[in-house]
Amino acid sequence: MDIILLGAPGAGKGTQAKVLEERSGLVHVASGDLFRAALRQGTELGMLAKSYMDRGELVPDEVVIRMIVERISRPDCRMGVIFDGFPRTLEQAEALEQELQHHDRRIDRVIYLKVPEQVLLRRIAGRQTCKTCGATYNIYYFPSKRPDICDLCRGKLYQRNDDNLETARHRLEVYFSQTMPLIEYYTQQNSMVEVDGQREISLVTDIMLQSIGINGDNAEKQV
């Protein structure tokens, strides 16, 4: 089973994808995480991506597509993938479809996490991530117990370069102009469900699980 999580930056895709991955056995593939990992490793791909990410612009389609095609060709993705942050343009969506077709696969479900713009801005600008374990917090909605220290591993919390208010605003503009058309695209394909991303995190998880055929709390793996 292959699933796309669609939604603006700050809609909660990453948070939900981690839970879905645990519950479904599918592999979470987040294009933004792949770029950040490439950057940490100092690769050419990472350096190239950084120049776009820091400005809140999209990395060119051919670069993203090549990276994703390579990632999903690995054995761990054979049973299915939760795509997070990809596709972001129609060209990426078409490339993904073609690539899956080569392997007799298709997108089974697109889950659109809908959140109003003013909430998105606060969510992005308040976001903090643990340098050590990757846990995420939000200074407005879900602060760590001690400022800037991870509750789970005591690692240091940091703010992503592109999570400042100015870049966040631009990322949202880019999302509305370049990624929103995908909502229409997938609606026409009848593969999309819309979920209110402002509801409680665990409730959103349950609705998402149900939409891919897994019961809410304590569900057996069924995918």
Which sign, positive or negative, has the C-alpha torsion 189, 180, 110, 51? positive
Look-up of token digits 């979920």: 195
Q: List b or e across 206-223, with b for residues whose CB sees 16 or more CB atoms inside 10 angstroms.
A: bbbbebbebeeeeeeeeb
58 scored as a contact of ligand AMP (CB under 6 A)? yes
38-57 binders of ligand AMP (CB under 6 A): 52-53, 56-57
Token code pair at residue 89: 């343009």
State how far the Cα of 50 lies from the Cα of 208, in Å rounded to an integer: 32
Token code pair at residue 183: 């909502």
Select the span of 27-35, 126-134, 185-193, 205-213 touching ligand AMP (CB under 6 A).
Answer: 27-35
Sheet strands (E) in the chain: 2-6, 27-30, 81-84, 107-114, 127-130, 136-138, 157-158, 192-196
199 is catalytic: no
127 is catalytic: yes
State how far the Cα of 71 lies from the Cα of 78, in Å rounded to an integer: 11
Which is catalytic among the residues 18, 23, 36, 127? 127
18 is catalytic: no
- Closest to ligand AMP by CB, 72 or 214: 72
160 is catalytic: yes
13 is catalytic: yes
Q: How many residues bind ligand AMP (CB under 6 A)?
A: 18
* Selected binder of ligand AMP within 8, 59, 111, 157 (CB under 6 A): 59
In the shown chain, the binding pattern of residues 86 to 105 toward ligand AMP, with x for contact by CB under 6 A and - for none, equals xxx---x-------------
Q: Please, what is the minimum distance in Å from the beta carbon of residue 179 to ligand AMP?
A: 8
Which is catalytic among the residues 23, 36, 88, 109? 88
192 scored as a contact of ligand AMP (CB under 6 A)? no
182 scored as a contact of ligand AMP (CB under 6 A)? no
Rg (CA), the chain: 17
Contacts of 179 (CB under 8 A, 6+ apart): 6, 8, 88, 89
Name the residues that contact ligand AMP, by CB under 6 A. 9, 31-32, 35, 52-53, 56-59, 64, 85-88, 92, 162, 171
Active-site residue list: 13, 88, 127, 160, 171
